[in-house]
Amino acid sequence: MPFVTPSGGVYVVQALTPTHKVYRLSPGGAAELLAPPAADGAGDGAAGAAGAFSVLGAGAAKLHGGPPLVLVDGAKWSEWLRDPKVAARAKAASRYFLGVVHFWVPTGSGDGRSYHHYLYKMEASPPFRPLEVSAELPLKTHPRYKKVTFASGLHLQPPRRGATPANGGSGPRVLVSYGSGDAGSRVLVLTLEEVEGLFKAGPPRAG
């Protein structure tokens, strides 16, 4: 999953588990691993905090990345969050990268696979450790393929110029585009408050 920092650095998350590997890409095409691989949840650096995904249980071992990550300024946009606790949570997180991850399990039926998608937060600066995982994204399935969805796009839409909560303007939104049952295209639109709500809920605890 590629991403670009505010300073213009180009990076890519090459693996999520069992180690979280982040590479820095140079203009010449070389890729440099930011930190040596470490066991899940052990050590420091980009590889050492993959334990953030352990809440997904067995699904963590099958985790795949998704579209490019986007940078969210939780502190800057906390004014759009009506719930004081959610606003405080966003301010505490400050800036972070937001991504989409998924895993699938066989269904044993005509659908073939059941897909499960989650948002995850990653530090906004090196070593880019993963921070937390959200509750499962509420993606709508196709009537004929009830378990098959696949997120392929992630976009952060900032507030319109001059918009504020006081004047009823539109706040920041997160858009997740996805295929439904290999038969239709959909977009999940989430307000920043809904995004924070998914992280507050979190995935069901494993075991």
Q: pLDDT tens digits, residue range 51-101?
A: 789 888 888 888 999 999 999 987 777 777 777 777 777 777 678 999 999
- Total Cβ atoms within 10 A of residue 51: 17
3-state secondary structure (DSSP) of residue 61: helix
Query: In the predicted model, what is the mean pLDDT of residues 137-160?
Result: 84
Domain that holds residue 166: 44-201
Residue 11 lies in a domain: no
Residue 195 lies in a domain: yes
Residue 116 lies in a domain: yes
Residue 112 lies in a domain: yes
- Give how many domains the chain has, as a whole number: 1
Residue 207's pLDDT is: 41
Contacts (Cβ under 8 Å, ≥6 apart) of 207? 57
Contacts (Cβ under 8 Å, ≥6 apart) of 99? 1, 3, 13, 65, 66, 67, 69, 70, 119, 120, 122, 154
Please tell me the distance from the alpha carbon of residue 54 to that of residue 133, in angstroms, as a whole number. 9
- Counting residues of the chain whose pLDDT is more than 90, the rounded percentage is 41
Q: What is the pLDDT of residues 178-205, one digit of tens each?
A: 998 777 789 999 998 899 889 988 887 5
pTM for this entry: 0.84
